[in-house]
């Protein structure tokens, strides 16, 4: 028996020696892959934090963006930023070090925050879809229904409700199996989120399937109503133009029997040329609502595309007893980070598809960079003992000061006007 143990240990030592001999190429490859993974994850985290922070600052700085819908946008950006700060960073440490470094209690904290902020994000999008539904499908009820108090209660609900399926069941141990609890006690350097079947069904339904179903039906109704309104507007305007053209071509005709026709054409001309402020504001408001609905529809679609692979994997693995054992860890990491990547995409969608956000982002970044680049003058700049400054340098200095004053004035004017 002792000999067999010695032989086994010798074989293990030989295998280790072989692996050490073969390790240089493998070590270089693993180091490159580790650097590649860390670069991608770090880029996603930094872009998500600063992108969502830019959304919050831009809405707070510019008056034009302070509309009811953007209250949800600010809250959603905050949730996405917290996903990057607390969920992504812990996941990145696990992917880089391949073990859990923060203890048993912090494992529950990380899992709770991950579920909490992800659920909060999709609940924000669900509230946005309801807001857009009332704004476009039921515009007369919108101002009466979506008051600031109602919006505040909805946003508060999106932050309180996710705690029911995150902190409470995870810290109480209701989410997992008895076998996994014993495994965690003996392996505190691992932090795996293994759930039982009831929790998998309930959490995925509340976090993804039910809100996504509501959003899909809401946006189908929104786009149907938006297309209907646009067709009615263009058909009415086209009919008015056609009658106006007939009126122009028939000016040389006789006036006999034309009293009713003259009255009709007079009404058409009045419809064409009567651009009252109320009518113009209603048309511009309708176009703005449609554009906002289109942008937020793209955000919703992006969210579903990013998180659908994760929840398909989540339900498949934990409802099928043998599927989890055959699932490679690389697949788990990929579906997690595709879902996380959604928090980075939302500010990019705002900047690309919404002109108001694009201008606000540009102004905020310009003001931020100019304030960082400005250097307070030192005593050496005004020392009389220095030789006289050349004309080119003096001209450049005057130009720089003039440009900075122009930027300061533009920042203040843009912020106050919007």
Residue 297 is part of which domain span? Answer: 30-248+279-355
Residue 219 lies in a domain: yes
How many CA atoms lie less than 13 Å away from 37 in the CB half-sphere? 20
Q: At what angle do helices 148-160 and 103-136 cross, to 10 degrees?
A: 150
Q: What is the mean pLDDT of residues 296-310?
A: 83
Residue 391 lies in a domain: no
End-to-end Cα spacing for the chain: 83
Residue 229 lies in a domain: yes
Residue 382 lies in a domain: no
Q: What is the CA radius of gyration of the chain?
A: 31
Residue 166: pLDDT band with limits 50, 70, 90: very high
Residue 67: pLDDT band with limits 50, 70, 90: confident
Per-residue pLDDT at 45 exceeds 90: yes
Q: In 54-166, where do the E strands start and end?
A: none
pLDDT of residue 223: 79
Is the CB of residue 343 less than 8 Å from the CB of residue 337? Answer: no
Residue 13 lies in a domain: no
Residue 411: pLDDT band with limits 50, 70, 90: low
pLDDT of residue 203: 92
Residue 80 lies in a domain: yes
Contacts of 225 (CB under 8 A, 6+ apart): 136, 137
How many CA atoms lie less than 13 Å away from 249 in the CB half-sphere? 6
Residue 82 lies in a domain: yes
Number of domains in the chain: 1
* CATH number for position 306: 1.20.1070.10
pLDDT tens-digit readout, 10-41: 444 444 444 444 467 777 888 888 899 899 99
pLDDT tens-digit readout, 168-196: 999 998 999 888 888 888 888 889 888 99
What is the separation of C-alpha 171 from the centre of its chain, rounded to a whole number of angstroms? 28
Residue 108 lies in a domain: yes
């Amino acid at each position: 028996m002792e000999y067999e143990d010695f032989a086994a240990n010798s074989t293990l030592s030989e295998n280790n020696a072989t692996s050490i001999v073969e390790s240089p190429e493998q070590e270089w490859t693993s180091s490159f892959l580790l650097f590649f993974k860390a670069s991608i994850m770090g880029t996603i985290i930094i872009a998500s934090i600063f992108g969502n922070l830019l959304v919050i600052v831009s809405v707070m700085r510019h008056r034009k963006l302070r509309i009811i819908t953007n209250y949800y946008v600010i809250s959603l950006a905050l949730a996405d930023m917290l996903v990057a700060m607390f969920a992504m960073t812990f996941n990145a440490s696990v992917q880089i070090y391949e073990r859990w470094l923060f203890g048993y209690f912090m494992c529950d904290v990380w899992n709770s925050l991950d579920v909490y902020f992800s659920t909060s994000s999709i609940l924000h999008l669900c509230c946005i879809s309801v807001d857009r539904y009332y704004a476009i499908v039921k515009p007369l009820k919108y101002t009466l229904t979506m008051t600031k108090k109602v919006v505040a209660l909805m946003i508060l609900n999106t932050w309180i409700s996710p705690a029911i399926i995150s902190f409470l069941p995870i810290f109480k141990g209701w989410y997992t199996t008895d076998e996994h609890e014993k495994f965690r006690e003996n392996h505190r350097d691992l932090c795996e989120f293994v759930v039982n079947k009831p929790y998998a069904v309930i959490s995925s339904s509340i976090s993804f399937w039910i809100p996504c179903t509501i959003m899909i039906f809401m946006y189908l109704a929104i786009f149907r109503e938006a297309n209907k309104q646009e067709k009615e507007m263009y058909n009415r305007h086209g009919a008015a133009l056609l009658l106006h053209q007939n009126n122009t071509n028939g000016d040389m005709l006789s006036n006999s029997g034309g009293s009713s026709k003259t009255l009709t054409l007079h009404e058409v001309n009045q419809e064409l040329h009567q651009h009252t402020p109320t009518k113009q504001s209603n048309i511009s408001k309708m176009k703005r609502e449609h554009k906002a609905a289109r942008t937020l529809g793209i955000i919703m679609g992006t969210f579903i595309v990013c998180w659908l692979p994760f929840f398909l994997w989540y339900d498949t693995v934990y409802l099928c007893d043998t599927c989890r054992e055959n699932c490679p860890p690389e697949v788990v990491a990929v579906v997690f980070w595709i879902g996380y990547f959604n928090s980075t995409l939302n500010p990019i969608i705002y900047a690309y598809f919404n002109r108001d956000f694009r201008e606000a982002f540009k102004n905020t970044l310009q003001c931020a960079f100019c304030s960082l680049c400005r250097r307070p003058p030192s005593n050496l700049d005004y020392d009389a003992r220095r030789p006289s400054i050349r004309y080119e340098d003096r001209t450049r200095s005057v130009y720089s000061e003039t440009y900075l004053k122009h930027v300061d004035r533009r920042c203040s004017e843009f912020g106050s006007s919007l």
